Amino acid sequence: MAAFVAAPLLAAPTATVGFGVKSSRRVSVRAEAAKGEVAVVINPAIQKDVEKVVDAVVVGELEKPITAYCRCWRSGTFPLCDGAHAKHNKATGDNVGPLVLKK
Question: Is 35 noted as a catalytic residue in this protein?
Answer: no
Catalytically annotated residue among 22, 35, 48, 52: 52
Query: Can you tell me the distance from the alpha carbon of 33 to that of 35, in angstroms, rounded to the nearest whole number?
Result: 7
Query: Can you tell me the distance from the alpha carbon of 36 to that of 15, in angstroms, rounded to the nearest whole number?
Result: 14
Using left for φ > 0, alpha for ψ between -120 and 50, and beta otherwise, residue 82 falls in alpha
- Residues annotated as catalytic (active site), given as ranges: 52
